[in-house]
Amino acid sequence: MSSTLKLLRSLSDPTRLRIIALLEKDELSVNELQEITRMGQSRISTHLGQLQDAELLESRRDGKRTFYRLNQNADINAREFIQLAVRGAREMADYTSDQVNLKRNLARRQEQAQLYFNQIAGRFDRSYGPGRSWQAFGQLLLRIIPPVVVADLGSGEGLLSELLARRAKKVIAVDNSEKIVAFGASKAKKNGLKNLEFRLGDLENPPIEPHSVDLVVLSQALHHADDPAKAIAATHAMLKPGGQIMILDLLKHNFERAHELYGDKWLGFAESDLHGWMESVGYKKVEIGIVASEEQPPHFQTILASAEK
């Protein structure tokens, strides 16, 4: 029988309560626990070892990965402590975001969409190949875009809008700066892009008719919004049924100087926050993940969030 004192000690740390509450739903690897909790690998591994030593967890190997789950053969005493741990975790501030991130992680695992882009990117720069470049890949991918109507919100001078306009049916670029809108419109006219229209407006109330676009793009724009949740709600209203939203933005960080240097109103976003805002207005098939990480300080990380109406 499990020692009561040993079990009490094993559950004395809040992190271990979080882990048990996550493993109540399904088995998880160390990497998955890292992604869900945003804690370091060594920290998670230490806590997993202590929980396993208390016979609350068990593990199995699958290739190079180890998966952990609640001990299916735990005695009555241990099972009671597991239930207490789950109840305690539900009272913690991190519980809601943990559960949102867990749901997203399990959905991605089920759809077998884990880390494909990062694997490709990792191989891309490994060896030189004549004519092989990100520019060429980008042109190839642009030609896959179907003839759809796109809203580029927070477009700035319209670099992305110009690229999309070369393949899309129509692109509506929205920005809150009169000078930038005038510059973008002039440049689009100069380049002969008759299907690119610039409009003056803000992210929370963009001047786009309801149910009129197929794709909404927010590329490094949402952290400039006064109310990001309201901005996301506005995108849902303008999309046609079955339309898509794509958000590229920064993962939540602590680089306070971004307010001063870049005029950022928000220091990035937690994946759980974006997921919650998107689901709350009716978006489905929400997928969020890290797609780029900067090697130099302050080590900004970029997340890509996508969903369907």
- Residue 100 belongs to a domain: no
What 3-state DSSP class applies to 176?
coil
Query: Does 76 share its domain with 126?
Result: no
Domain boundary among 56, 78, 93: 93
- Answer yes or no: is pLDDT of 1 > 50: no
- Answer yes or no: is pLDDT of 132 > 70: no
Under a CB-based contact definition with an 8 Å cutoff, are residues 62 and 48 in contact? no
Query: Does 151 share its domain with 273?
Result: yes
pLDDT per position as a tens digit, 175-186: 999 999 999 999
In b/e form, how buried is each residue of 67-86, taking b as 16+ CB within 10 angstroms? bbebbeebeeebeebbeebb
Query: Does 185 share its domain with 273?
Result: yes
Query: Does 145 share its domain with 11?
Result: no
Query: Does 184 share its domain with 70?
Result: no
Domain count, the chain: 2
Query: Does 123 share its domain with 75?
Result: no
Residue 246 sits at the vertex; the CA angle it makes with 244 and 248, to the nearest 5 degrees, is 175
pLDDT per position as a tens digit, 251-265: 999 999 999 998 999
- Which CATH number characterizes residue 157's domain? 3.40.50.150
| Distance, CA of 168 to CA of 187 (rounded, Å) | 18
Beta pairing class for 170-175 and 149-153: parallel
Query: Does 163 share its domain with 29?
Result: no
What 3-state DSSP class applies to 284?
strand
- Answer yes or no: is pLDDT of 94 > 70: yes
Query: Does 257 share its domain with 135?
Result: yes
Domain that holds residue 294: 116-308
> Rounded to two decimals, what is the model's pTM?
0.66
